[in-house]
A and B are shown apart, each in its own frame.
Chain A
């Protein structure tokens, strides 16, 4: 009711504003127009009077029913039409008809969504593009010549005084996947860091890293063979991490429980087929410039090798053990020009299978040296057996050069030679363009 009246007043006011301009434009009809305006004015006054009367009637009614009336309510209808033609953004709205007096709010209400101030609570958004190219020969595991391998969108914000949330959505050229999406409670009593959601498990180093922060264009063979490859252990679950106080170094223990589905590594046939990850990380500053980071990891879950005709007859499990070591050197005063990172991971996989348990072992060893502000070079050696056949061993070597035009983009070339247990020797040149737009993310350590 009140809304339609308001519109009426608006139209009349608008007509009054438009009218003078047409008067000056067409003088012959001025007389007629003047009459029209006069008529409109009278009509407007009549409406105004009508409104005034009705409002006073309403007020008196309200006074009769409510002991404490709210005098603010009738004021806006008069003020609002005046503000409208000025092009001012409307920051308040009227209480919808019928809602008044029913215990609900009265008078002007704030409008959400329209005002720019609401955007301050939007999460930090960034998109990272990962373009991969490959040339040379690989008959065993060929990747496309050119591919927009991944576009990762991240949304990160503080949820409330107790938590923050991080979402990483990975768009391939075809499919979309939730790479990670979790809530973190950074200050739970007991010194715990609790995470709930879908996340990359804290097994070793490489498994927890996103593609765009890897020091290579690919993942090491041992990760592909024994730890589920690019997807790795990435599952829905709960993670709890605690610092273990001691006077000597940083020591953190992490325990994680997942549903039990992770690429081709773990497969959950029943609700009880959970997978588990345990990780212990020690870190120590050897000097101001040099530090060492050591880790031990364990994971256990059910595998799919015992499934016959949709029934998990075998109930087989896989256990994975890992050790990782990272040595970093970065002279503080020249930190933007020189650095070295040496890293290695050793992984043992114990996979129960229909015929026998396979005990596969693999590792990688890699080094990256920054020799100028924007230039890095690196090398990697790979060796690993297959998880489902310990007698098949792949090995490979890579050489890398990376260039950073700025903090927000990166070009990388990688020469890779792979000797597969089954199939031809592969000699490949891989290249990668990484580019990031949006919020300035933190640099990984």
Chain B
């Protein structure tokens, strides 16, 4: 009996060992919470990683459902890359908890908070309460819309991949450098395209674009939402229309997952152009990676600005 048991034990251990060796030689399985992070992870990891995102770019990243099928994805993950700053607080914790995967638990070796080194805006000062709506106490989590932050996130991911696959460190570093260089070149191009429109005033639906606005010289003067996460109210919409008329604001940017009814009525009242502007990779069909995200958004903006004429101060 005991002999059999110990034999079974040995066989079990053997299987586990073989499995872990096989895994060590395979690709790193990276799961990200958003498609933006997935795109950056692909840039850095190349063909030595497999990357999959939990949420889609056209869905509101605050309200993803914690579907059990995501548990299966996390169960097999070597690395979990999260946006952080409480972006995923409504849905990621139960998924991690049920993943049965020690590697991706918060604080474990395979858990990456991509926001750790990024430039974060809108960090609330002083006392904050829910009267301000669904505020993020750790700052605005939409930080990936600044390419400089994209570089920081890429570095973070490259570092983690190198740590897990020390033999591939040179490969990941070379890919990281190539990505940073391509992004820097693209950034110069984007900056040049946006330069004539510096100081353009816009209104956005949710506070998704502070980093984008800062990088490309837009000024966000108001929001369709009266407070983060609170749907538009008639009084706030009226106030916003008046403010837009006063300052001659001609652009309303709406994330693809919000209803266009209120933005359209604001557009009609003010003569402003309403743009469905994806804040994420996959937000619209043409935006397939981190580069095309900025290409698309900047072309969209410039196209609209040419049409309406600019309002700068």
Of all chain B residues, which has the CB nearest A293?
A: B68
Q: Which of B65, B72, B90 contacts A330 (CB 8 A)?
A: B65
B69, B91, B100: which contacts A187 (Cβ < 8 A)? B100
Asked if A283 and B75 make an inter-chain contact with CB atoms under 8 angstroms apart, the answer reads no
Is there a chain B Cβ closer than 8 Å to A414's Cβ?
no
User: A186 vs B108: C-alpha distance in the bound complex, in angstroms?
Assistant: 12
Q: Which of A164, A184, A193, A443 has its CB near the most chain B CB atoms (within 10 A)?
A: A443
Complex Cα gap A332–B259 (Å): 13
CA of A343 to CA of B98 in the docked complex: distance in angstroms?
Answer: 23
Q: Is A174 interfacial (CB-CB < 8 Å)?
A: no
Q: A158-B106, A332-B56, A406-B229 are in contact. Are A283 and B67 (CB under 8 A)?
A: yes
- Binary contact readout A243-287 vs B (1 if CB under 8 angstroms, 0 otherwise): 100000110100000000000000000000000000001011100
Verify if B71 is at the interface (C-beta below 8 Å from A): yes
| Known contacts A288-B56, A335-B60, A337-B259; A445 and B67 CB within 8 A of each other | yes
Query: Per a CB cutoff under 8 Å, which of B56, B67, B72, B133 touches A243?
Result: B72
Chain A residues with CB under 8 Å of B134's CB are: 406-407
A98 at the interface (CB under 8 A from B): no
Is B105 within 8 A of A332, CB to CB?
no
Q: With A186-B98, A337-B259, A440-B89 given, is the CB distance from A332 to B58 under 8 Å?
A: yes
Choose from A186, A288, A333 the contact partner of B257 (Cβ within 8 Å).
A333
User: Is B90 a contact partner of A283 (Cβ separation < 8 A)?
Assistant: no
**A373: chain B residues within 8 A (beta carbon):** 231, 259
For A442, the chain B residues whose CB sits under 8 A away are 66, 89-94
Q: Is B96 at the interface (CB under 8 A from chain A)?
A: yes
Complexed CA–CA distance, A374 and B231 (Å): 9
- Which of chain A's residues have a CB closer than 8 A to the CB of B256? 333
Complex alpha-carbon distance, A188 and B101, angstroms: 9
Indicate if B306 sits at the interface (CB-CB under 8 A): no
Complex Cα distance, B67 from A374, in Å, reads 22
Q: Which residues 270-311 in A have Cβ within 8 Å of B in the complex?
A: 281, 283-285, 288, 291, 293
The contact of B58 among A252, A333, A408, by CB within 8 Å, is A333
CA distance A158 to B93 in the complex (A): 11
Chain A residues in 8 Å Cβ range of B258: 336
Interface residues on A, range: 35 or more
Answer yes or no: A423 CB below 8 A from chain B CBs. no
Most chain B CB inside 10 Å of its own CB: which residue of A164, A291, A442: A442
Within 8 A of B (CB), among A388-445: 406-408, 437, 440, 442-443, 445
Q: How many interface contacts (CB-CB < 8 Å) are there between A and B?
A: 99
A371–B69 CA distance with the chains assembled, in angstroms: 26
A191 at the interface (CB under 8 A from B): yes
A336 touching B102, Cβ below 8 Å:
no
Q: How far is the CA of A288 from the CA of B70 in the complex (A)?
A: 12
The tally of residues in B whose CB lies under 8 Å from a CB in A reads 41
Q: Are A164 and B97 in contact (CB under 8 A)?
A: yes
Contact with A along B50-75 (1 / 0, CB 8 A): 00000010111001011111011001
Q: Report Cα–Cα, A110/B101, bound state, in Å.
A: 36
Contact B63–A335 (Cβ < 8 Å): yes
A243 touches B71 (CB 8 A): yes
For residue A13, which residues in chain B have a CB less than 8 angstroms away from its CB? none
Q: Does A334 contact B (CB under 8 A)?
A: yes
Quote the shortest CB–CB distance from B279 to chain A (angstroms).
13
Complex contacts, A328 vs chain B, CB 8 Å: 65
Interface 0/1 of A173-192, CB less than 8 Å to B = 00000000000101110011
Question: Is A28 at the interface (CB under 8 A from chain B)?
Answer: no
- A89 interfacial contact with B, CB 8 Å: no
- Indicate whether B303 reaches chain A with its CB closer than 8 angstroms: no
B295 sits at the interface (CB 8 A):
no
| B246, CB-defined interface residue at 8 Å | no
* Nearest B-chain residue to A374, judged by Cβ: B231
Does A104 reach chain B (CB closer than 8 Å)?
A: no
Can you add 16 more A-B contacts, CB < 8 Å, to A193-B97, A283-B68, A332-B59? A158-B106, A186-B100, A187-B100, A187-B102, A243-B72, A243-B100, A252-B68, A283-B69, A288-B56, A293-B68, A328-B65, A407-B134, A408-B130, A437-B130, A440-B86, A445-B66
Q: Please list 14 pairs of residues, one from A and one from B, whose beta carbons are closer than 8 Å in the complex, sorted by A's number.
A: A158-B106, A164-B97, A186-B105, A191-B100, A193-B98, A243-B71, A250-B69, A283-B69, A288-B56, A293-B68, A333-B257, A336-B63, A336-B258, A406-B134
Interface residues of A (CB under 8 A from B): 158, 161, 164, 184, 186-188, 191-193, 243, 249-250, 252, 281, 283-285, 288, 291, 293, 328, 330, 332-337, 373-374, 406-408, 437, 440, 442-443, 445
Interface residues of B (CB under 8 A from A): 56, 58-60, 63, 65-69, 71-72, 75, 86, 89-94, 96-102, 105-108, 130, 133-134, 229-231, 256-259
